[in-house]
Chain A
Amino acid sequence: MIRLVPNHASKIKRRDKVGFTFDGLRLEGRRGESLAAALLQAGHLNLRTAPFGDAPARGAFCHMGICQECAVRIEGRTVEACRTELTDGLVVERVS
């Protein structure tokens, strides 16, 4: 099929995979990508429950550090997954 917008997927070269954990699950992602993107790629969109109401699921929404919906806990601190770089062996927990 003729494509006017080419598919560049095969031309993108990514760094080596590294392991990390989310809520105790062992996952893999690319070193240096945003944690929100690594979790998305690993199939984890549901990152937390909403702080109020009957605790519905929430995940990354604005991807630019504004909405705070992708908040996770790393080393006891609440951080935005979209503003956190993935490093080898990162231990990520849910906020609630």
Chain B
Amino acid sequence: MSGDYDVAIVGAGPAGGNAALAAAQHGLRVLLLDEQPAAGGQVWRAKSSAILAAPATEESTAGTSLRNRLAQSSVTHLSGARVWQMSQDDGWKLEVLQGGSSETYTAKKLVLATGAREYVQPVPGWTTPGVIGLAGATALFKQNLRAPGQRTVVCGTGPLVFYVASEIRRLGGTVAAVITPNARMDWACATPALLHRPALLARGALWVADLKLAGVPIYWQHAVTGVDGDTEVTAVEFAPLSHDWTPEASRVVIRADSLCLGNGLIPQIEAAQMLGVPLTHDAHLGGWVPRAAPDGVTDVAGLYLCGDGAGIRGAEAAVHQGTLTGLRIAADMGFDTSTARDSSRALWARAARFGRAMTALSIPRAGLARLSKDDTVVCRCEGITKAGITQEITHGAGSCNAVKSGLRAGMGPCGGKFCQTAVAQIICTETGQDVAQVAPPTARPPLCPVPLDAAAGAFDYHALPIPKPAPL
């Protein structure tokens, strides 16, 4: 067992990083765990060591600032460290995989700042090499400063689609087209919220204006319906959408060697779910969210949540919620932090309102499910098609858990992280339930793939307990 800490924090993005800093400022012993090579999360992901020099961006500047402050603090930061199991006994016990072996850490308080992943609506050909997630593309830009291909189609909801298209152009790539299910009117409706953040509004407007000047076609209220090519992308097919995002009959085909595809962010809730935090459904926060107060407090004693993992509100809200959570933990451990918490809470509320409005643009409408055809692979790991899942539901599987145990959809290496939203959506279509009635499957350890030798650790073969045979 290695080290006993006051606070262990899982995730070193804007939320986890700031929670760590706030707690450490009050003299608490803080352990910050993150699976990436450096702190920053997805939004402030650090450049790889392959980059000697590059122009700064807003994201890189914010990330550098967080990494510098962490380096100057008393926080113990383990990078490349994956937490694959957590349990509560007297305090918290965490199993952490780092550099091919697993170690146990303990802490009095636990913060989950696990962030988000993205929802990608399965379409024919989405498993073709060269098709990557929209958020995945941002990881490629920020860490490696590489474009996804020579000629890329960018398709998705919300502001991310324009950010990705703009970054491809900044890195010297070519954007073949921008395709978004949102109509111009959706953005007009979001304008009141945007006016509270004029800098971001201006940045978004610049991305769109640049695309227009460059002659990049922007297809509003359209979506990608299929990808051509078996081993590589050769063309992308798309269609106009009706008001509820049902694809219409006409098709447009555009030549491309790569596609970035995404339909909004969803909170990474598995760890919170596993530890017993009740879930609620709120489409404006990205779907199923674990219940947590603005200062991170949950129904589970000693467990706190902050950032996008507790509902998609964006990086700025995550910063303030992280600080608020760190301060709340310090208060729970006997320090007076009430004044600082009041100001952080006001900043969080303002940022959170804006975040919700942005997330609202990405809520998948009912018709989007029709992009998946009967023979479209829904569970990538196990190669399970929509028709297979539909049949399982027809035979009586009325929940994500039932589909999972019947078909293994969600039991592959990714642990269901890229199919469960689509599975829930198919259950809704087949049974007439609302998405808020179809709970995600039970979360179980390990939270990520763990090599068996690392999980087992070093042991003497002769020390293995062999149970007595059952009496005949």
Q: Which of A's residues lie within 8 Å of B, judged by CB?
A: 1-15, 30-34, 36-37, 40-41, 45-47, 50-53, 56-69, 71, 77-78, 82-83, 85-86
Contact = CB atoms under 8 A, between A and B. Distances in A.
Interface string B308-335: 0000000000000000000000000000
Contacts of A57: 128-129, 230-232
A4 B170 CA distance: 10
Nearest to A5: B210
Q: Which 5 A-B pairs have the closest CB atoms?
A: A59-B129, A9-B172, A32-B49, A52-B383, A53-B383
Contacts of A60: 129, 132, 136
Contacts of A78: 451
A19 B99 CA distance: 23
Given A13-B53, A34-B143, A57-B231, A85 B136 contact: no
A54 B381 CA distance: 13
Interface in B164-222: 166, 169-172, 206-207, 209-210, 213-214
Contacts of A11: 53-55
A66 B418 contact: yes
B258 to A, nearest CB: 8
A78 B118 CA distance: 24
The SS class assigned to the A binding surface is loop
Interface in B49-72: 49-55
Interface of B: 35-37, 42, 48-55, 80, 100, 117-118, 127-133, 135-137, 139-140, 143-146, 148-149, 166, 169-172, 206-207, 209-210, 213-214, 230-232, 377, 380-384, 412-414, 417-418, 448-449, 451
Contacts of A45: 129-130, 232
A37 B383 contact: no
Contact of A61 (B36, B42, B136, B230): B136
Contacts of B381: 51-52, 68
A71 B448 CA distance: 13
Contacts of A53: 377, 383
Interface hub of B48, B128, B144, B172 (most chain A Cβ within 10 A): B144
A85 B210 contact: no
A9 B147 CA distance: 10
A5 B35 contact: no
Nearest to B257: A45
Contact of A5 (B146, B207, B384, B448): B207
A47 B449 contact: no
A9 B171 CA distance: 5
A17 to B, nearest CB: 10
B100 A77 contact: yes
B391 to A, nearest CB: 16
7 contacts: A15-B51, A30-B50, A50-B380, A56-B230, A57-B232, A59-B130, A83-B35
Given A9-B171, A53-B383, A86-B50, A64 B210 contact: no
A37 B172 contact: no
B170 A33 contact: no
A51 to B, nearest CB: 7
B42 A2 contact: no
A67 B37 contact: no
A66 B414 contact: yes
A15 B50 CA distance: 5
B449 A34 contact: no
A6 B50 CA distance: 22
